[in-house]
Structure 1
Amino acid sequence: MLRINRFYKGMQQDLKFFLFFWIVFTIFRLSFIIIMFPTETILDNLSGIWVSLYYGARLSLKSTGVLALSTFLFCTMAGLVITSEKYLHKIRVSMGYIYVFIITLLFLVRIPYYREFDSGFNQFIFNTFRDDTRALFYSSLHYVPLGIILLIPICFLLCKTLKRCLETKVLDFPKFSKPYYTVAFLIFLLLFSYTFWRFVRFGGGLTENSVRWTNAAKTNQLLLNEAILDDFQALSRAYDTHEVLAKARNLDLNPGKVAEFGRMLSGEVTESNDMYDYFRKSAQGAKLPKPRHIFLIVAESYSQWPLMPAYENLNIASGLKSIANKEEAVYLTSFLSNGNFTIGAVNGVVTGLSEVKVYPNYQKKSLTEAYPTALAAQMKNLGYKTNFWYGGYGSWQNVEKFTLAQGFEDFFSCGDLISPNGNTWGIDDGVFLRYVSAKMTDDQPSFNVILTVSNHPPYSIDLEKAGFFNTTTYNNFPAAVKQDAEMVKMLGHFWYSDKVITEFIETVKAQYPDSLFIITGDHVGGNIRYISNPTLFERYSIPLIIYGKGVNKGILPANTSGAQINIGPTLIELIAPKGFIYYSLGESLTKGRTLGVNLDTWMYGNYIGMHGDSNYEKSPLSTEDNSKPDLGEIKKMTDAMRGLSWWQVMKGNKIN
């Protein structure tokens, strides 16, 4: 019983330890906001500050949990074999003092860091220590005296408070009249501990549908979003991002090879050491009346296979199929995502560069200037106001900073509206798309990229409320599908995404009849497991639908193929006047058969294959086409597209 008693008292000390540091994180968060927020506007932003404090407190449960877990292991658990409670108390207090010093130091360093970089600790902290040591040293000298003056008294006050807190009385293990009461109480403690630590682990919830650094941008203000991350979470973000970039693929290129790639893709024989010359193109003349508003919708996990005749019985893609069948629409089936994940698709659409695992959304260069092939900047040259709409949070994959740096004038996310409908990834598509349509104005022409989120685990849409179970779609599902609850949920979310995107298009088209819509998916979703043995086409292809005034079935030549880096030049060739100069890596789909590539696959005409594999398949949706792909030529073109993309992101515009 003595060991159980020590363990019980140690748990109480761990709980006090946990609460102390959780409160410290919250106090430092509030202090950071007060110090950094403009005094004259702080009262007008109390709701945003409350959101920042609320989600910050939830996120700091994780950071605090790590600290408390260390004392649980080295003090409470150790108390099962170490009999000296005084010795264990000293260890716990000493650990607390060390944590106080670290947390306070990080807090004081964070303030000048934010003033310098407009961010809490991020991946650039590694670049700073490697590349800008002298600048960092001289700039930090300004803050060192003040930091030392504040560090000592803050640490002293917090250490005294922690010591007193840990010296407050704890309860002995209760004595029960019957042994099974003792056993029941121990079971209760175990269940309580499990629930508590799960609650802590998931940031204030009992499932993975919780706040994390990747989705912490809960407000529409950068400062408040950065305040949500405590310094431990910010350092975790910095490390994770740095590791991703450290693993970026180096294609071992040299300037001569890059210039050769440029000549190959551009058809030019002229030598140049400037990427602009190889990306430069001249529009052939508009094929459509210039649309007032353009909407490029990138739908989460919107695969091609549900639109195929072989899966007509599911009827989960009836909305966009009805759009594709309209006279003013064209549906391209031979189309690939730029990457296997959402951010790969975003990078392809935004930058116009192929995916080569160099993550432009995290590169310092990408956050300071737009690439020559960036679509938004070129749409501005055509007279459009450029907006990026994301149903998730702006901190996800650095998407807000990245898109704004790449030419989008405004960024909107679920942080711009408060709604109870959503999950860890963002707000329900229906709610967000209604918000987008409500925010639209006819003040000036606009180009809008819309990225949805709902068709993604944890699949939290209330399908019953959405009416799914009352539809003929669900009622006609095969019995085997209905018995698989998880499959029903996945297919139901695809149906929901298709439904609300279609409703959005119809609403906006009625309000702005001369709008142009381009609809595609970001990648093939997890619902592909509905097919027991999918073909390459089913596993990798996504749809591309172009719909609007002047569009017709013949606007794209037969057997056209491509990928998301072809969307930008296609749009420009459809609407730009003859002679308009633009820059792109990919060719316009209006020119006929083009090569679509991503990390794993290629698509050329009606054929699809894997890189490095001599086997390939013919698309089941293709028209007659007896020409066979030249695998050698495909490899050369793929290497060229990847090589130019890598060099542009990692080296810049100059080839030397």
Structure 2
Amino acid sequence: MLVDDSLSSSRWLNFIKESWKIFLLWLSGVLLLMSFRLFYLFHFSEKVSSDVTVKQLFDALATGFKFDSSAAGVCLLIPFLMNCFLQPFRLAHLVKYARNIIGVIYQSVFVILGVCGVTYISEYGSQYNYFMLEGLYDDQQAIISTAIQQYKPWGSLLSIVILLLYVLFWTRFVDRRNYSFLINLCPKSRAKKVILSILVIVVFICAARGSFDSRPASRKWSAVTTDPFVNNLVINPFRSFFYAIQDYGELNQLTTSNTNPYSVSEDKINNVLLNNETRSIGPLIEKPSRIFFIVMESFDSWPLQDKYRGLGLTENFHRLKANGIFVEQTLPAASSTMNSLSSLVTGIPFSGINMSRLTSKVDTYSLIHHMEKQGYTSQFFYGGLLSWQTVGEFMNRHGVDRIYSAANAGGKGSAGVWGVDDGQLFDLVSKSVPENSFNLIMTTSYHGPFNLDLSNSEYPWRNGVYPAQFQVMSDELLSPNTLGHLWYSDKMMGQFVDNMQRQYPDALFVITGDHYSRRYFHAKPNLYELTHVPILLLGQGISSKLSNRKVASHMDITATIMDLIASSDTPFASFGHSLVRSEIPENVFGYKTIRNSEYVWKQGNNEQFYGYRCTAKMDVKPPDQSVPIHEYQVYMAAAWQLLMKGFADD
């Protein structure tokens, strides 16, 4: 409408001038937020590690600019839309009124949050988080008195007043300027007006997203340096404030619920928890000097089947499994990385509650706690950024001694999206494994958008064509490029294990996938292929402890490690069953998934389980009445109860 020929040149000029004024208000908001970030870095410079490089600081400021642009753009969305749709109807006065009011309000909010952030960082060592809302349930008068006496915020109050006066002056200045130079810049032809209108809209959308890329400014991409404090300052006070409200709402909703969603009696839950308590039967091997627990991104079981062996995707895993304890039919704790990783760390099965911002008090289940009790220093290595799913904070809350991320390995790999490539991650681990260390490693390369350059690699299908015997499986096969990332991940893992075994012959390795990949070779995978990951344990003496288990779950890993290395009769608790003991559970469980020696069941969207027979006649569907739903409900009810009753907000 803005470029219709019937519109007068004055209305078109008003649109251009108003767009320019909105841009100036956007720019002032960005400069305000960036100024606060720079002030924080200077004022709290003692909190910044000396290891932080100039390049990392530049990356932090560049990423922070994206958040600042997004915050200012979103706040100015209403006047921008009003300018687009009301100018043609001679309603410029409404556009002006909205721009002035919103301009003052949003910049004032930036000022107040930015200045108050100085006091908040002084107290908590970080920008706004959900702790700030705990004051709603505390002695608020005492909190205010303490803040006044301890921080004497008179300088902050004076700063707020001065900056608010600046906001009023600047907003008025922007509004009253004539901007006559725009007259000469405005196009006269209709085509040029259309192009300029589209350009204005596109630029504003990109500003509000904080990026011209396909990925908008998001918290999970904020930890771009090796320093946690600098990473915390990447997100501006405005976004931090709203993230704090969001996090508090999620936590409050979870922790205020007293009703177990699995509707199981307390007696049955208590029986499960009591039966989970056990004692180690080992040590079954000589105590390893180093333990490597490798959790492979999307590394599932379907490529390990004989019918896909000719693809050569997991040759390193096949080679290694011949000398260890291997269970191909393993149910993951969850279908997403953070939920599975949380369960592996805490020992508590995923029951539908995201544990990334929760802390369990139940140390008797915690893998980290058990390893440290055995004399190991705990370390976590992640190929991405620690801000993803707040995984760095999660590991810190659960007692991990040393935490490493992509930032410690250069920040970006050749793919550049999820952090460093697996090869770079394993190189970092190789340089950071002291004696008596337990090393939890989370890889990232087998994850979209799959943009590793494999053209010069030894990947057999880099030319994009599968052999004829695989092409006949389906008209819709997974792309060779995607599977090349699985091949690369397997190759880097194999090289790392070989390297560590040469350096530390007594090392123990545990290798599994975080969850099934949701990517399959052809369009019609069976239920087994849709649900399973492998488990592999390697080390001196392991091959003599071959397991008779054909079916397992992620929850079996902690119990197995304890039996292998812990002193005899060491108490611990586990929802799983050790793979080196003779007893075999009738059923194993994952979230919404059940498995026994013959069948696998998966819960669908209608809360009903559907099944698949994995032995004998695989096309036979098991009878619905054989699904052990009640046992599953008790298992999940106990996991929910243990997590919620053991919640601590630190």
TM above 0.5, one fold? yes
> What one-letter code is carried by the residue in structure 2 that aligns with 1:576?
A
TM-score (norm 2): 0.86
* Structure 2 partner of 1:204: 211
The range that moved more, 608-617 or 251-260, is 251-260
Distance 1:52 1:2 in 2: 43
* Residue 28 (structure 1) aligns with: 36
Aligned residue among 548, 572, 582 for 2:572: 582
CA distance in 2, matches of 1:41, 1:339: 36
Q: 1:468 to 1:19 in 2, by over 3 A?
A: farther
CA distance in 1, matches of 2:303, 2:183: 60
In 1: Cα distance, 2:407 partner to 2:64 partner: 14
What pairs up with 1:3-22 in 2 under 5 angstroms? 3-22=11-30
- The question of 1:643 aligning with 2:632 is answered no
Tell me the residue number matched to 2:99: 92
**3-state secondary structure, aligned to 1:460:** coil
The 5-angstrom pairing of residues 469-618 of structure 1 reads 476=467, 478=470, 487-528=479-520, 530-552=521-543, 555-559=546-550, 561-591=551-581, 592-594=583-585, 595-611=587-603, 613=608, 616-618=611-613
Aligned residues: 625
CA separation in 2, counterparts of 1:484 and 1:533?
9
Please name the residue that 2:116 is paired with.
109
Contact 1:202–1:211 (CA<8 Å) still a contact in 2?
yes
Q: 1:579: Cα distance to partner?
A: 1.3
1:347 aligns with 342
Pairing 1:439–2:436 present: no
Q: Which residue of 1 aligns with 2:157?
A: 148
- Residue equivalent to 2:226: 220
Distance 1:170 1:311, change over 3 A: farther
Q: CA deviation at 1:334?
A: 2.0
CA distance in 2, matches of 1:127, 1:487: 50
Equivalent-residue separation in structure 1 for 2:65 and 2:118 (angstroms): 19
Q: Which amino acid aligns with 1:151?
A: I
Percent identity between matched residues is 21
The offset of 1:296, in angstroms, is 0.8
The equivalent residue for 2:302 is: 305
The range that moved more, 465-474 or 370-379, is 465-474
- Contact 2:351 2:640 survives alignment (8 Å): yes
Which range moves more in the overlay, 601-610 or 466-475? Answer: 466-475
Quote the offset at 1:553 in angstroms. Answer: 7.0
1:463 is the counterpart of 2:471: no
What TM-score comes out, normalization by structure 1 length?
Answer: 0.86
Could you tell me how far 1:491 is from its partner in structure 2?
1.5
Separation in structure 2 between the aligned mates of residue 176 and residue 407 of structure 1, nearest angstrom: 61
Q: How big is each residue's C-alpha offset from its partner over 1:616-640, in whole Å with a ceiling of 9 and x where there is no partner? A: 33335999xxx999957x4444333
Give the distance between the partners of 1:242 and 1:489, measured in 2 at CA. Answer: 41
Alpha carbons of structure 1 residues 645 and 511: separation in structure 2 relative to 1, 3 Å: same
Q: Report the counterpart of residue 232 of structure 1 in structure 2.
A: 238
SS at match of 1:312: helix
- Structure 1 residues 535, 246: closer, same or farther in 2, change over 3 A? farther
Task: Write out aligned runs for 1:55-454 (5 A).
Answer: 55-84=63-92, 88-130=95-137, 133=140, 136-142=143-149, 145-168=154-177, 169=179, 171-172=181-182, 182-193=189-200, 195-208=202-215, 211-245=217-251, 248=254, 252-253=259-260, 257-267=265-275, 279-324=276-321, 326=322, 328-363=323-358, 365-366=359-360, 371-421=363-413, 422-441=415-434, 444-454=435-445
SS at match of 2:128: coil
Distance 2:539 2:303 in 1: 23
Change (3 A) 1:389 1:88: same
8 Å CA contact 2:331–2:588 kept in 1: the answer is yes
Which sections of structure 2, spanning at least 5 residues, go unmatched? 1-8
C-alpha distance in structure 1 between counterparts of 2:438 and 2:250, whole Å: 31
Change (3 A) 1:204 1:126: same
SS of the counterpart of 2:529?
Answer: helix
1:319 & 1:573 partners in 2: Cα distance? 27
1:378-437: CA deviation from partner (whole Å, max 9, x where unpaired)? 101111111011111111112112112212111000122324424343222222222211
Q: Give 1:139 shift.
A: 3.7
> Once the 2 structures are TM-superposed, how far is the Cα of residue 467 of structure 1 from its aligned partner?
4.8
Q: What is the one-letter code of the residue matched to 2:99? A: R
The residue identity in structure 1 corresponding to 2:107 is V
For the residue of structure 2 that corresponds to 1:316, the secondary structure is: coil
Distance 2:559 2:47 in 1: 46
The Cα shift of 1:172 comes to 3.6
Partner Cα distance (1:117, 1:63) in 2: 24
Q: Could you list the per-position Cα deviations for residues 465-520 of structure 1 after superposition, in whole angstroms to 9, with x for gaps in the alignment?
A: 54536769965375589998972332222122112112211222222122111111
Rate the CA distance shift 1:124–1:370 in 2: closer, same or farther, 3 A: farther
3-state secondary structure, aligned to 1:617: strand
Q: Secondary structure at the match of 1:537?
A: coil
Q: How far, CA to CA, are the matches of 1:30 and 1:224 in structure 2?
A: 11
Q: Quick one: structure 1 residues 319 and 629, their matched pair in 2 at CA, closer, same or farther if it must change by over 3 Å?
A: farther
**CA-CA distance at 1:523 after TM superposition:** 0.9
SS of structure 1 residue aligned to 2:111: helix
Distance of 1:114 and 1:621 partners within structure 2:
63
SS at match of 1:71: helix
Q: Would the alpha carbon gap of residues 452 and 378 (structure 1) be closer, same or farther in structure 2, given more than 3 Å must change?
A: same
Query: 2 CA distance for matches of 1:523 and 1:230?
Result: 34
In 1, distance between residues paired with 2:160 and 2:335? 47
Superposition CA RMSD, Å:
3.4
Indicate conservation of the 8 Å contact 1:414/1:432, yes or no.
Answer: yes
Letter in 1 for 2:220: T
Asked whether the 8 Å contact 2:333–2:343 carries over to 1, the reply is yes
Q: 1:2 aligns with which of 1, 7, 10?
A: 10
Quote the residue 2:46 is aligned against: 38
Range moving further from structure 2, 503-512 or 242-251: 242-251
Q: CA deviation at 1:194?
A: 5.0
Amino acid at match of 2:237: D
Which amino acid in the other structure matches residue 82 of structure 2? F
Higher alpha-carbon deviation: 384-393 or 189-198: 189-198
Give ranges in structure 1 of 5+ residues lacking alignment. Answer: 268-278
SS in 2 for 1:388: strand
Contact (CA 8 Å) 1:56, 1:229: kept in 2 or not?
yes
How far off is 1:15 after superposition?
Answer: 1.8
Listed one character per residue, the Cα deviations across residues 143-163 of structure 1 (whole Å, up to 9, x for unaligned) are 554443221111112332343
How far apart are the structure 1 equivalents of 2:439 and 2:51?
Answer: 33
Q: Which residue number corresponds to residue 275 of structure 1?
A: none
Kept after mapping to 2: 8 A contact 1:604/1:629? no
CA shift for structure 1 position 227: 0.5
Distance 1:4 1:489, change over 3 A: farther
